[in-house]
Structure 1
Amino acid sequence: MTWLIDNFSYVWSLTVRHVWLSAVPIGVGFVVALPIGWYADRHPRLRGGLLGAVGVLYTIPSLALFAVLPGLLGTGFLSPLNVIIALSIYAAAIMVRTASDAFGSVSPAVLDAAAANGYSPGQRALRVQLPLAGPVLLAGLRVVAVSTVSLVSVGALIGVSSLGSLFTDGYRRTFNTEIVIGIGATVLVALVFDVFLVLVGRVLMPWASLGRPVRSAV
């Protein structure tokens, strides 16, 4: 505890950076996955191949992807952009399947009723399917958030500082206190993201029950 008090500003700066490196990929992955998931739901014949192709992206080892991206993008090896892009790919890979399932969970009778009332396909997607698919989408987004917060720590192995830096530095110095603080802070950040998403869901979807445990969609 003494070490944490003496180094609080350092740990706090790493926490803020960890939150930033997590929040951007979560948002980008969600925005990218929505139209892909909707398209997959609209075209059942293509759904299996599309979801399979996207799912392959998640099987790429994170450390390998972090190392390859600088050569592909021309970014610096220590650039946080490499971590953001890699984690955005992972986030989208998880969310695409969830988004497809979420849009597919909307009753066809509801969509038929919306079409009978003159809703265009785009209006049905935004004003009917999206709100009704919201609880399933939120469940998937919570899984993405926890996964992303965890994976950000891996970036410390290639020199991109985050709470993972406490793991690597503590391991190098055989200083268990720093390792424990890094693990605890990472878990706390994941919990904060999860609680934040649940609260946002309750505000946007007060009709849905959003406090139940989340099961991974992958």
Structure 2
Amino acid sequence: MIRKIITIDEEKCTGCGACANACHEGAIGMVNGKAKLLRDDYCDGLGDCLPACPADAISFTEREAACYDAKAVEAAGGHSGGSKIGNWPVQIKLAPISAPYFSNADLLIAADCTAYAHANFHNSFMANRITLIGCPKLDMVDYSEKLAAIFSSNEINSITVARMEVPCCGGIEYAVKRAIEASGKDIALRVMVISINGQILY
């Protein structure tokens, strides 16, 4: 059917992720540092994302598009949350040193297992944050050098570390603390610990 739906100008898009955060339906995601309309049937055409875009990269257009599917949106967690991912890739080893979404960002640096342990991880931790993940035990790498480069190259507002209560997860907390020190910057840090049954301990 022909209906009103958003269009994203990739040339204008700065990759800040504001539109993805503003989209309650989860229709917009960040792909390779740019906002992208992931599914026509998730876009309700109301345009909550338009005023959120500081680069004026989003507009309405009338074109052939799938009907808005409210049931599919609800089933995927839209309106009640939905995906809060604001950047890609999220793996620390794959993340770029510098990207537009890092500018004045609040970072979440999370151990892999946290997202599986805590049922509401997207809303509790990822919302309005740029996410980086890793496993200090399985990846067998010292993240501190890569993280220090990210912190040094970008203006980071704050860092939240999400880790499990198990001892091996202390590696990611330690790496972040070392990276902040190596960057020479005074970045606010909060460490949140999740139990193996999914509760936030502190």
Flag whether TM exceeds 0.5 (same fold).
no
TM-score range, shorter chain: under 0.3
For the pair shown, the structure with the greater C-alpha radius of gyration is 1
TM-score by length of 2: 0.24
TM-score by length of 1: 0.22
Higher relative contact order (CA 8 A, sep 6+): 1
Which has more helix, going by share of residues? 1
